[in-house]
Amino acid sequence: MITRRNALTLLAGTVPALKLARAADELPITAGPFKGTRESLKAWAVPAWYRDAKFGMWAHWGPQSAAEYGDWYARNMYIQGQRQYDYHVKTYGHPSKVGFKDVIATWKAAQFDPDHNMQLYKKAGAKYFCSMGVHHDGFDLWKSTFQPRWNATASGPKIDVVGMWKKAAYKHGLKFAVSDHLAPSYQWFSVSHGSDKTGPLAGVSYDGIDPAYSDLYHEYPKDFNFASGGNGFTNRGIPDSWKLHYYKRIKDLVDNYQPDLLYTDGGIYYEEYGLAVVANHYNVNAKLHGGHCEAIYTSKTPADCQTGTCVLDLERGVASGIPAEPWQTDTCVGSWHYDKTVFEGHKYKTPKRVVDMLVDIVSRNGNLMLNFPLPNSGALDADELKILDELAKWMAVNSEGIYATRPWKIYGDGPVASAPVAAGGRGSAFNESNRKDFTADEIRFTTKGSVIYAFAMGWPEKQAVIKPLATTSSVAQVKVRNVELLGFKGKVKWTQDEKGLTVQMPAQKPCDHAIALKIATA
């Protein structure tokens, strides 16, 4: 994930219209309703399955998981002073002698059982599942045509990770997604060509300089600005040859695995090349659905998604208000790549935190895609299993207020709802750490037809008061016909007056975490 940087923008660049038109004709795009232009992609619309799904899960898992030492291991092991550099030197050896290519060989996936994992994800409420396709380390997790040596069928565990995940997802009735993090690799991995600045091996080049491994670590021109980490993670200094290679790699992934959702870790990269990626993805999917596109592409750049084109994804963030179009939060229970230490990111979100986020996001017309990072073995750890079990118990009671719902007039009421959403490093992205825990005073709404679901984000003391449903409410004049408490078999007592809808709580709560009132209206 591109998470710990301030300068990584990699937004779509501008190119002359003539170049765009020429590229749209020359790049090999599967025939279908879309062309690789922004104008053509405006005609795309979010499919109903995605609007209804609300909850997806993700295994952010690959060769960087081998060390079990956190996210961006393949980059940070080449940066003297980083804790992962220190760990690498201590555990594997100096990166001038033992590099990431050698770490790949230690990724064994000895307990990888995608069918078992998928059963757990489905039980916990996931309607779609995302496999990593390729991270910034440039290692493809499928039988890759354009990365024949450094892919999961040829190196490491020597299995088709993407293919195995897809088979398991479809077997259990989940939609299938893949994530693409490849485009930044050209700059991100340039540190592998560096060297220590101090110490006994200062000036001794790391193994990335070896031309025998340029298919993994990249080749760079003599004037490449290594000092800035690759020209500061911008579009500057990126050769067209890399852009074309990026396009071919992702086209190969899409053509052979036909994902329902293609997640990109950034915006639509390199303009005509990225637009061709999106168009090809949609056209491949349209061929499977009688000419109608049922696929999703996500972008983290708001401008990409203003009209049709894609779904806006907010990394570790929640949108403010109720956006007109569906959007997505992607986040993790801990660190993006598995971290066995007590350092950054290893402390997992509590089940309550996950439930609070899910309900809040759905009330705002969003979807949540939640990552459970896997260790080297590919088996979920004990803490992750506990979180999944808690989610499964909660979903067994409350899922009808989540799936296939739509936003109400307002998303919520309460102390947090009344306060503005705290901005993160990039607007609504990365704001989740600023958000306060929810209490029973916090209410979130979803709807399904004439039914309103009001979630109290904690167990109310004796009664829940839903103020926006007062008879004198300025939000909406709603006549309540009946109220049920999901998970409670008996009838609840309720009244509706100028103070709100007041519901008396039973002696025992029906579930942990948020409770859902099912409110039938006129």
Per-residue pLDDT at 3: 43
387 and 425, same domain (yes or no) = no
Last residue of a domain, one of 341, 367, 399: 399
3-state secondary structure of 412: strand
495 within domain boundaries: yes
Measure the CA–CA gap between 373 and 390, rounded to whole angstroms. 17
12 within domain boundaries: no
425 and 394, same domain (yes or no) = no
205 within domain boundaries: yes
Per-residue pLDDT at 222: 85
204 and 295, same domain (yes or no) = yes
Q: The domain containing residue 476 runs over which residues?
A: 412-521
DSSP class of residue 339? B
Q: Which helix (H) or strand (E) holds 197?
A: none
**Alpha-carbon distances, residue 127 vs 12, 148, 298, 370 (angstroms):** 31, 32, 17, 12
467 within domain boundaries: yes
134 and 166, same domain (yes or no) = yes
Per-residue pLDDT at 20: 47
Which of 289, 227, 438, 280 shows the shortest CA–CA distance to 350? 438
Look at the block and give the residue holding tokens 């004439």.
Answer: 450
Which of 333, 313, 315, 332 shows the shortest CA–CA distance to 323? 313
For residue 283, give the CATH number of its domain: 3.20.20.80
429 and 299, same domain (yes or no) = no
Measure the CA–CA gap between 89 and 80, rounded to whole angstroms. 10
264 and 161, same domain (yes or no) = yes
DSSP assignments along 7-57, one per residue? S---PPPP--HHHHHHHHHHS---SSS--SSHHHHTT----HHHHHH-EEE
9 within domain boundaries: no
418 and 393, same domain (yes or no) = no
272 and 187, same domain (yes or no) = yes
pLDDT in tens, 112-154: 999 999 999 999 999 999 999 999 999 999 999 999 999 999 9
Last residue of a domain, one of 351, 371, 399: 399
54 and 159, same domain (yes or no) = yes
3-state secondary structure of 446: strand
3-state secondary structure of 390: helix
Last residue of a domain, one of 378, 399, 420: 399
Measure the CA–CA gap between 406 and 409, rounded to whole angstroms. 10
127 and 238, same domain (yes or no) = yes
- The token pair that represents 332 in the structure block: 């993790």
Measure the CA–CA gap between 430 and 434, rounded to whole angstroms. 9
pLDDT in tens, the chain (522 residues): 544 333 333 333 334 444 544 454 579 999 999 999 999 999 999 999 999 999 999 999 999 999 999 999 999 999 999 999 999 999 999 999 999 999 999 999 999 999 999 999 999 999 999 999 999 999 999 999 999 999 999 999 999 999 999 999 999 999 999 999 999 999 999 999 999 999 999 999 999 999 999 999 999 988 887 765 544 455 567 899 999 999 999 999 999 999 999 999 999 999 999 999 999 999 999 999 999 999 999 999 999 999 999 999 999 999 999 999 999 999 999 999 999 986 655 689 999 999 999 999 999 999 999 999 999 999 999 999 999 999 999 999 999 999 999 999 999 999 988 776 555 444 477 788 777 789 999 999 999 999 999 999 999 989 999 999 999 999 999 999 999 999 999 999 999 999 999 999 999 999 999 999 999 998
- The token pair that represents 493 in the structure block: 């007592």
Q: With 0.95 as the threshold, say if the pTM is over it.
A: no
pLDDT in tens, 224-280: 877 655 444 555 678 999 999 999 999 999 999 999 999 999 999 999 999 999 999
426 and 389, same domain (yes or no) = no
117 within domain boundaries: yes
249 and 375, same domain (yes or no) = yes
1 within domain boundaries: no
Per-residue pLDDT at 424: 47
Q: How many domains does the chain have?
A: 2
Per-residue pLDDT at 25: 56
For residue 464, give the CATH number of its domain: 2.60.40.1180
7 within domain boundaries: no
DSSP β-ladder status, 500-504 and 494-497: antiparallel
